[in-house]
Structure 1
Amino acid sequence: MKPLLVLKDKDIFPNAIPKEDIIYKFRLAVKIIVVDPGGKVALVGTKYRLLPGGGVEEGEKIIEAVKRECREEVGCNIEIDKEIAFTEEYRAQIARHQQTHFFLTHLVGNKGVPETTQENEQGIEVDWYKLDDAIVLLEKEVVEIPHESYNACFNARTHFAVLKELKNLGITYNLEARLTGTPNLGHIFN
């Protein structure tokens, strides 16, 4: 699989002065597209909304990280359906090469609240959006997030690209059919 998107500072910050001889530290991250039974997608944040997720911890399997991050940031359990894409980001200001893997998942059980104190103290909220509305919101955030919010500038672009790819791929499984084993009853993203 090739990366869906490769981003560098110059792609986001056209006036950035290129840095020479950067030694990038690698970071593996996961982002989660959590779909509820109504076909809505979870976005999290304070002022801006992004897909939940974060870094894979030392010694942690990527699938374990997906489930942990979802419990921490969304407060729910999930079942992983498939990996949709991955992106490569070269964040020169912080000397980080980040590879982010995006997973399509569905909610198992009830919606909850973020599990970690950090998320609760920061006032992170979880909101649920129709896929088209989430795409429109992220497209707006690509433009509106100030450059001072360095990491969010990268995240908004990659999250927007992946949700558009999800829609373009026509991934339209039906959650009820999947859970009950009944024939296809329609599309989850209408």
Structure 2
Amino acid sequence: MSAIRDKLMRALSHPTGPSSDFDLGVTPPGEVVLHPAGVLAAFDAVDGRLILTKRASSLRHHPGQIALPGGKVDPGDADEIAAALREANEEVGLNPTQVEVLGILPPHRTVTGFAMTPVLALVHGPFRPVPEAGEVEEVFTVPFAHISDPASYHIEGRMWQGARRDYYVAPWGPYYIWGATARVLHSLATRLSA
């Protein structure tokens, strides 16, 4: 447990700037009001496995994609950390009393207009996920060794709004981890290997 905590705390101590879905060559649109959001990068305190979700295909934002539990900051949330904890509880049934928040990474700007703040945390005790019907199709975990290794990530691309858009991917088994989630996790892997 202490080894994983120590690695994550060291990663938090390496300063880096914010990231963006536009980092790999796509020009961002002009002035856009970004909506604050928080996502929970929650690692099991014992084995280091990261909790991820497969979003429901009926959702408006990022349907069917692999994501960290989380969402936009609601009026009742104190900040992005509170939003990430609330959303993780709603989306996957993770009790906030099991979560030890270690810190936050710089925000990530998404193409859908969110400033997404990743919250690094450890999960203590047994956790049995309960996917939120209509929002989460599946909850699964990925080993710390895969998430923390920069070699797990590579760049792919496709046409988007008339131009090629490149993005990070980190496939794991049947799961295609890409886009904002892969970019945030790539930033974490880079910090962990520093």
Judge same fold: TM > 0.5, yes or no: yes
Kindly indicate whether the alpha-carbon contact (under 8 Å) linking 1:76 and 1:107 is maintained by their aligned counterparts in 2. no
**How many residues in Structure 1 have an aligned counterpart in Structure 2?**
158
Q: 1:89 aligned to 2:98? A: no
Find 1:67's aligned residue among 85, 98, 101: 85
Amino acid at match of 2:115: Q
- Structure 2: segments with no counterpart, 5+ residues: 1-12, 56-63, 168-177
| Amino acid aligned to 2:106 | T
Q: 5+ unaligned residues in a row in structure 1: which ranges?
A: 170-190
**2:37–2:83 contact (8 Å) kept in structure 1:** no
Aligned positions of 1:160-179 closer than 5 A: 160-165=186-191, 167-168=192-193
Structure 2 distance, partners of 1:33, 1:86, is 13
Aligned: 1:119 with 2:135 = yes
Q: Residue 132 of structure 1: CA displacement? A: 0.9
Q: Which residue of 2 aligns with 1:130?
A: 143
Report how far residue 55 of structure 1 moved.
Answer: 1.9
Q: What secondary structure sits across from 2:134 in the alignment?
A: helix
Give TM-score scaled by structure 1 length: 0.61
Shift of 1:153: 1.8
- The residue that corresponds to 2:99 in the other structure is 80
Amino acid at match of 1:31: L
Q: Is residue 143 from structure 1 mapped to residue 155 from structure 2 by the alignment?
A: yes
Deviation at 1:10, TM superposition (A): 4.1
Given that 1:50 and 1:159 are in contact with CA atoms closer than 8 Å, whether structure 2 keeps it comes out as no
Query: C-alpha root-mean-square deviation of aligned residues, in Å?
Result: 3.7
- Report the CA distance shift for 1:80/1:161 in structure 2 as closer, same or farther (over 3 A): same
Could you say which residue in structure 2 is the equivalent of 1:175? none
Tell me which of 69, 78, 87 is aligned to 1:52: 69
> Which contiguous aligned blocks of 4+ residues in structure 1 show a shift greater than 6 angstroms?
none
Determine which structure has more spread, i.e. the larger CA radius of gyration. 1
Counterpart amino acid of residue 143 in structure 2 = K
Matches of 2:179 and 2:29, distance apart in 1: 18
Question: Which one has a larger percent helix, Structure 1 or Structure 2?
Answer: 1
Amino acid of the structure 2 residue aligned with 1:161: S
